[in-house]
């Protein structure tokens, strides 16, 4: 019985580490995938989508969505 508990615990730890490792890669959106441009300030005709893979201080600006 003790061996089964250890095996289940080890399996849970491996699964948890796998989920934590892939957590950052689970978000598929980036500025290029939205056909956006990284700028310091978005133009009035563009939509702001946050940093989304742009460098520090830059925003993802998308001129049209869809």
Contact 23, 41 (CB under 8 A): no
Please give the pLDDT value at position 4: 77
- Alpha-carbon dihedral sign for residues 55, 61, 65, 66: negative
Domain coordinates in residue numbering, the chain: 2-62
Question: Who has greater pLDDT, 30 or 40?
Answer: 40
pTM comes to: 0.53
CA neighbor of 39 nearest in space, from 30, 28, 29, 50: 50
Instruction: Examine the pLDDT at 47 and tell me if it is beyond 80.
Output: yes
């Amino acid at each position: 019985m003790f061996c089964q508990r250890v095996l289940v615990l080890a399996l849970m730890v491996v699964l948890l580490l796998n989920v934590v490792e892939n957590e950052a890669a689970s978000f598929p959106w980036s500025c290029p995938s939205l056909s956006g441009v990284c700028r310091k300030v978005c133009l009035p005709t563009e939509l702001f989508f946050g940093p989304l893979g742009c460098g520090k201080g830059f925003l993802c600006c998308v001129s049209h969505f869809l």
